[in-house]
């Protein structure tokens, strides 16, 4: 249980952050959503993720859009591929994604996971270029991983 201790910290302090209207509340809600879905507490993950997204238009809070990918992970787990795709695209389209391009970076991997390898391959180079320009190492890694997934499933005779 000790290795899981930090996973619950965001959830433990989220009520205090809500009450204080802390500027990084969206980030905290996103980490709570991430931890919840990682431990298969999908209802909690959805609750935290949707709350994070609902606060994006409130200027009180620092915008942070990674909750879209958390909710997309839950949707994939629940078998709702259309919802996963919609969530990833909404996150990538949000102006806050321009800061680190994390939602953009996850596009090819989600397309591959829902069986749209050709589309993932067609977009992978563009996504990698956009994400690399943003300069966030985690996003670059995600984009390259997604590109690798897309091409791993390709018919090598067609390439």
Q: What is the mean pLDDT of each run of 10 residues along the chain (159 residues)?
A: 65 93 97 93 97 97 97 96 95 96 95 90 94 95 93 66
Sole residue written with tokens 């590109």: 147
25-38 and 42-54 helices cross at what angle (nearest 10)? 160
Q: What is the pLDDT of residue 156?
A: 61
Which structure tokens are listed for 64?
């942070």
Q: What is the pLDDT of residue 2?
A: 43
- Cα dihedral value 111, 116, 122, 127, nearest 10: 0
Q: What is the pLDDT of residue 61?
A: 97
CA-closest candidate to residue 146, choices 93, 116, 110, 97 = 110
The answer to whether the CB of 84 falls within 8 A of the CB of 112 is: no
Instruction: Report CA-CA distances (Å) from 45 to 34, 37, 60.
Output: 7, 5, 23
For residue 118, give the 3-state DSSP assignment. helix
> Which pTM value belongs to this model?
0.90
Exposed / middle / buried, residue 96 (Cβ in 10 Å: 0-12, 13-18, 19+): middle
């Amino acid at each position: 249980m000790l290795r899981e201790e930090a996973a619950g910290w965001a959830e433990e302090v989220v009520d205090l952050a809500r009450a204080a209207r802390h500027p990084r509340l969206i980030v905290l809600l996103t980490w709570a959503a991430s931890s919840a879905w990682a431990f298969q507490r999908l209802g909690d993950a959805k609750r935290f993720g949707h709350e994070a997204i609902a606060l994006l238009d409130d200027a009180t809070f620092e915008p942070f859009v990674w909750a879209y990918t958390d909710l997309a992970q839950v949707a994939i787990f629940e078998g709702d591929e259309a919802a996963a795709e919609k969530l990833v695209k909404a996150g990538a389209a949000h102006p806050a994604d321009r800061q680190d391009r994390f939602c953009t970076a996850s596009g090819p991997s989600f397309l591959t996971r829902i069986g749209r390898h050709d589309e993932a391959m067609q977009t992978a180079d563009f996504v990698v270029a956009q994400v690399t320009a943003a300069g966030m190492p985690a996003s670059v890694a995600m984009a390259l991983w997604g590109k690798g997934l897309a091409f791993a499933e390709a018919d090598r005779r067609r390439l």
